[in-house]
Structure 1
Amino acid sequence: MTDINPPDLSHKVYNTPFMQQVILVAEQLRHRGGASEEKQTALFKVAYFILQNPWLSPTLNIERMAEGAHTSTAAVNRLANHMGYNGFTGLREALVRHLLQLVSPADLVQHEVAHHPERGFDLSQQVRLSNGNLEAVLNANDDAQFEALVTAISQATNLYILGFGNSHYLAGLAASCLIPHCAHVITLNMEGGSENATYRLATISEGDVLLTLALPPYTRDTLRMAQYAVGRGATVLAITDSPASPLVDIADHCLYASPQHPVLRNSKVALVAVIEALATAVRLRNHEPVNESIRLAEDALAYIQRTGSDPAG
């Protein structure tokens, strides 16, 4: 019987639970003999065809798969049942899930929601989405990019933070994370909308840094204010979704946080992780308060905490 010899079993396409099952079943079928050897051989041919064609197999109907494996549709069904699936329909669904796992967890969950709306949406799907978006952060950014943002934030005379639209509250989160570790943090998008934000940004200059947060759909005010900061000689940093973001052409340095979600407009998990990573790195960079204003703020906080814990007189 033919040896199992797919192109490269170390390739990620073979690292899914489904493909590992196919490899195991193919090995078992290859070593079986006896009276049913002919049937076993037919099943092995189907399993071997799937291993040889991991990207093509999920797109085939039962006739095309049988033709490609040089066997019968009955053999395809028997392999599916042997693997614990309900005939070819179950096997093909497993193949599609396998393929979607390689593309994106968001695509996989979207497929699940579309084909099984009666199941709704559960916590495990959200966790899988979040894990996928966090993995995308590692794939889209390198240490040099991250270090460039950390250095710029650490050395900023004034750090301005901007985020409109669905990034508004994330800008507030970034400010709360960075205020204890930076010399002077100014949150632009508070009350008053873009007009008051523009007034706060008006004095930005060389030595200052503007940290912009923007996920699709991008707001024009964010882009215009970033361009204004560039014109004033400030350094512009961006945390955005991808290299296709319009901020890439404006900012000096960018980090990318995947916002993929099949149900919500955007997922914020990856962007929150990037914000926390920047705050942590800046905190470790500035072991001591970087200027007198931070020292005074920390002294004030310690005083309030002490007096707040005293029993009432």
Structure 2
Amino acid sequence: MNDLTGNPLFDTPVMRKLAALLETLKPSQRKVGEFILRNPLRAAMLSISEIGRESETSPAAVNRLGNRLGLNGFTGLRMALVNHLLAVVSPHLQLAATEMSPGNTLQGQLKQNLAEALQAGQHNGDQVFEAAVQALCEAERLFILGGSRCHPLAQVLEQHLVPYHPSCLAICLSAGLDSMAQRIAYVQPGDTLVVMSLPPYNRYAIHLAEMALDRGATVLALTDSPASPLAGTHVLYAPADKAQSGTGLGPAFAIVDALIAGVRKRLSVADDQALAQVQEALHAAQWPAIEAPANRAG
């Protein structure tokens, strides 16, 4: 199980216990548990039949999960969820409660994007984020792997970290499993592998993350919730529920952008000097400027 310490939305007794027991639950109970971990705010406000329907199980499965957690069935489970999450208000619910419907307007979509970014903030604590930034800054070599639809995020992260980390390399899944495995096989203690995978999870990305962990490398995982099979040394959560519009990558992109900003803030002084020297050398090597051709009459 990934360490949930420092994640305000998951670092509570009921969420920690649920995440710890998830692998041992029966299939129907596990589906209920995964639904709650992916929707910790909304689950606290649903009835037993609604949770059964949303998790594609049954009210009986929800009740059995409550008993398995030692909470005296659904009544105790719901009380535990409400007690631990009452103080947290979902940005999605705030948006839905307003009289202004997001619709398909530009302003509406921007409001939705803002709500999703705020929700990503609720899913991650400052302590975990700082540890992730530190892992990026202190890596001897940096590898980035974006599973399936997360590959564009890997390219963005690589593009913006290369000036600060010349060894940064984005690994493309389309190159084939053999090619990816060959690259990951050389990771070692001191290296950092960033792995991003959202539902539907890419099993190759998950296996390669496990390989890197086994080899002693630091793995920074970006996924949707503690229900994800992706494990890492440090884990950041980008909620990906059905209510999100567009690509559904908004929360994940917000976290990637925050990581880039965090690295820049830590490494900007030394690397800005190095970049200035490179730019000066390139400027000195430039060809004489070519004058623009004169306008031709007629």
Quote the residue 2:212 is aligned against.
229
User: With structure 1 as the length reference, what TM-score do the two structures score?
Assistant: 0.56
Structure with bigger RCO (C-alpha 8 Å, 6+ apart): 2
Aligned residues: 202
Aligned partners of 1:137 and 1:270 also within 8 Å? yes
Give the superposition deviation at 1:139: 1.1
Residue 261 of structure 1: CA displacement? 5.4
Q: CA RMSD in A?
A: 3.3
Give the counterpart letter for 1:275 in structure 2: V
The Cα of 1:287 is off from its aligned counterpart by: 3.5
Instruction: Supply the distance in 2 between the matched residues of 1:193 and 1:299 (Cα, whole angstroms).
Output: 38
Amino acid at match of 1:223: I
State TM-score, norm by structure 2. Answer: 0.59
**Is 1:152–1:209's contact at 8 Å kept on the other side of the alignment?**
yes
Query: Deviation per CA, 1:14-35, whole angstroms, max 9, x where unpaired?
Result: xxxxxxxxxxxxxxxxxxxxxx
On the 8 A contact 1:100/1:108 being kept in 2, the answer is: no
Runs of 4+ in 1 over 6 A off after TM superposition: 99-102
More helix by share: 1
Equivalent residue, structure 2, for 1:103: 93
Instruction: Please give the alpha-carbon distance, in whole angstroms, between the structure 2 residues aligned to 1:208 and 1:101.
Output: 36
> 3-state SS of the aligned residue for 1:180?
coil
Deviation at 1:194, TM superposition (A): 2.9
Matched, 1:212 2:195: yes
Matched, 1:160 2:143: yes
Taking the aligned partners of 2:287 and 2:120, their CA distance within structure 1 comes to: 42
* 1:32-53 CA distance string (max 9 Å, x none): xxxxxxxxxxxxxxxxxxxxxx
Partner residue, 2:258: 277
Per-residue deviation, 1:128: 2.2
The structural deviation recorded for 1:226 is 0.1
Contact 2:142 2:192 in 1 (8 A): yes
CA contact (8 A) 1:156 1:183 kept: no
| d(CA) in 2 for partners of 1:151, 1:310 | 43
CA shift digits 1:263-309 (9 cap, x unpaired): 7574222222211211111122124447xxx94x7644544456568
The structure whose Rg is larger is: 1
Matched, 1:185 2:168: yes
Correspondence for 1:286 among 267, 282, 291 = 267
Which residue is equivalent to 2:239? 258
Task: Note the C-alpha offset of 1:191.
Answer: 5.4
Counterpart of 1:138 in structure 2: which amino acid? G
Give the conservation status (yes or no) of the 8 Å contact 1:177–1:276.
no
- Out of 278, 290, 295, the residue aligned to residue 312 of structure 1 is 290
The answer for unaligned runs of 5 or more in structure 1 is 1-54, 56-98, 114-119
Structure 1 CA distance for aligned equivalents of residues 107 and 255 of structure 2: 22
Identity of counterpart residues, as a percentage? 29
Determine whether 1:267 maps to 2:256: no
CA contact (8 A) 2:188 2:216 kept: yes
Amino acid at match of 1:203: Y
Letter in 2 for 1:235: T
Q: Which ranges of structure 2 fall in alignment gaps of 5 or more residues?
A: 1-44, 46-88, 292-298
> Given the superposition, is the C-alpha separation of residues 302 and 274 from structure 1 closer, same or farther in structure 2, using an over 3 Å criterion?
farther
